[in-house]
Amino acid sequence: MPGMAWDTEGTRRRLKEAAAAEFAEHGPDGTTMARIAERAGINKERLYKYFGDKQALFETVLTDELDKLAASVAPVPSGFEEIGEFAGRTFDYQAAHPQLVRLLLWEGLSGGVADEANRTAHYKKKARAYALAQRDGVLDDELSPEHLVFMIIGLAAWWVSAPQVARMLTGADDSDPAEHARRRASVVTAAERLARPRRGVSR
């Protein structure tokens, strides 16, 4: 029955939203299935039925959040003309969705990796694209492509990863529109300087 299918989908969505919030706040070890179910207003047995154990649920939530990032931030154009703006768009998304960075930090602390094979393939594909752009002289080739990919990710995410350090340095936080704009501009400029070939510089 269509109504029943819709209810099931709505229930799964509410449970995943509650799980994402709980995991982001408390990490996998500090979160209980009972609290997730309570937050969603849904029976705990249904949570187990839909997602299995807590680790499987954490991996599902993190994979979903990464998919949302990929769907929301257009990839760097093949010519890499807008690498700075790509970093800026990624920063915008991370600032608006700090849960994702927190989930990644918890994943790193826990020692497990969700959907490792697919994510590794995704990052390797990115690194190959950067390597081709370096070969063609579009991107600077002083850094390895893998390191360059990682540093562009870091530029966009680190403001959200350590907001207390950012606040101590700048005297403001990202809820201040002017400060958000300054941070975004710095991310764009830093990505351009990091990735673009330096004209007239001999090595």
pLDDT per residue as tens digits for the range 68-81: 999 999 877 666 87
Cβ neighbours for 101, distance < 8 A, ≥ 6 positions apart: 94, 157, 160, 161
Please tell me the distance from the alpha carbon of residue 50 to that of residue 160, in angstroms, as a whole number: 31
What number of residues does the chain have?
Answer: 203
Asked if 186 contacts 178 with a C-beta cutoff of 8 angstroms, the reply is no
Please tell me the distance from the alpha carbon of residue 165 to that of residue 168, in angstroms, as a whole number: 5
Given this model, what pLDDT does residue 74 score?
80
Share of the chain above pLDDT 90, in %: 81
* pLDDT higher than 50, residue 93: yes
Asked if 40 contacts 15 with a C-beta cutoff of 8 angstroms, the reply is yes
Asked if 43 contacts 11 with a C-beta cutoff of 8 angstroms, the reply is no
Given this model, what pLDDT does residue 198 score?
81
Please tell me the distance from the alpha carbon of residue 18 to that of residue 40, in angstroms, as a whole number: 5
pTM: 0.88
Given this model, what pLDDT does residue 77 score?
66
Q: CB burial class (10 A; 0-12, 13-18, 19+) of residue 98?
A: middle
Please tell me the distance from the alpha carbon of residue 148 to that of residue 150, in angstroms, as a whole number: 5
